[in-house]
Homo-oligomer: A and B are copies of this chain.
Amino acid sequence: MNEKNLSSISDSEWEVMRIVWTLGETNTKQILNEFQTKKDWTDSTIKTLIRRLVQKGWLNAKQDGRRYIYTATVNQTEMMYNEAKTLLNRMCDMHKGEVILKLLEDSPVSKGDLMKMKKEISQKEKTAPKMVPCNCLKTGSTIC
């Protein structure tokens, strides 16, 4: 049952998670309902996705009579953070800053989060290098 969260989550599965995150405790019917207008997937498809999410441990299925009540086992920010971190780690350290900057540019951010970012930046400025070294090859090259 309690499969460890080793497996990643796919694109379509995310769509389902979003619904569950918003609905909180929910069931198949409600989920199918939400999708009705949002996607033209068949109910069958969505049921498959729900099943896979349960298998992967991203959704918890509490039995309720012969139905289930679903809840997310991880919250959205946390999950996205993990995925994003994993993705970023594919890339050379040297350019991570640029990417984060560009993401910042095209995302809407609240005043509160901007404030926290400023704080974090001030912190980092104390020790930030002029240039983050490339860590791509074994033969530590400088450019990538």
Contact = CB atoms under 8 A, between A and B. Distances in A.
A62 to B, nearest CB: 20
Copies of this chain per assembly = 2
A85 interface: yes
Interface string A9-21: 0010011001101
Given A80-B90, A95-B77, A130-B112, A141 B103 contact: no
Interface in A97-141: 97-114, 116-118, 120-121, 124-125, 128-132, 134, 136-138, 141
A144 B22 contact: yes
Interface residues of A, number: 63
Given A21-B136, A91-B18, A121 B128 contact: no
A96 B81 contact: no
Given A97-B107, A104-B100, A80 B88 contact: yes
B103 A109 contact: no
The 9 lowest CB-CB distance pairs between A and B, nearest first, are A97-B113, A97-B109, A22-B144, A96-B107, A22-B136, A77-B95, A14-B90, A111-B128, A80-B91
